[in-house]
Structure 1
């Protein structure tokens, strides 16, 4: 994942309202494809211009890019970042008790992007509802 410098301010009133309304949104992907007592496995497939709404990560997890592409995320701390993903690229994220991350994801490229995300249910934080 190659992060670019902070993107221009992309915060609209609608985006701020959506972020506020989704503080407890635990749907970190488009489709929950598997859940066991240990993990939740999500798929994300975004066509150019499509967007995954704001959601909050509280569980330790990793994602793997299934396709290369470009995306933008707006974060709950107000930052906006642009990313370029390579096929097979993987990132592991950890959230100690009481910590979390809220963001959205928009495909800003010319080709589809896709990810698999695996959340670990035995993380320090309790899972958010779906």
Structure 2
């Protein structure tokens, strides 16, 4: 990745925010990428439609492929310092929409934890995470 500075905007627009949660929508057309961003808060993702996304993580060579079916949901504890900056790209053939619910305040974990998900991946698509 370039010298681009990451943002904390983890979605394309904010739908709701109070002292406890912030709810984002991330909408990407086929071939479109998100801003380089970081997650500083534990969060839940929910995919509204089947989507094939790839994540490019700063400092890592391999891209993470995530073929998510409608209703794919995962929870992630980001740790005290948050996650590494990354960018999502819609590598599918249809628009992708998912929602991110950030749990504001300190993470429940000192170190980032692997995501816990409901397993709703698109059958027949490979994933590498």
| Structure 2 length-normalised TM | 0.76
Counterpart of 2:49? 67
Separation (CA, whole Å) in 2 of partners of 1:71 and 1:92: 17
Counterpart of 2:91? 108
Structure 1 segments (4+ residues) deviating >6 Å: none
Once the 2 structures are TM-superposed, how far is the Cα of residue 98 of structure 1 from its aligned partner? 2.4
Q: More helix by proportion, 1 or 2? A: 1
Consecutive unaligned residues in structure 1, runs of 5 or more? 1-15, 126-130
Consecutive unaligned residues in structure 2, runs of 5 or more? 109-129
Separation (CA, whole Å) in 1 of partners of 2:103 and 2:53: 24
Q: Give CA deviations for 1:38-70 in whole Å, capped at 9, x if unaligned.
A: 011000111111111210111100100001021
Counterpart of 1:46? 28
| Structure 1 length-normalised TM | 0.76
Q: More strand by proportion, 1 or 2? A: 1
Task: Give the number of equivalent residue pairs.
Answer: 107
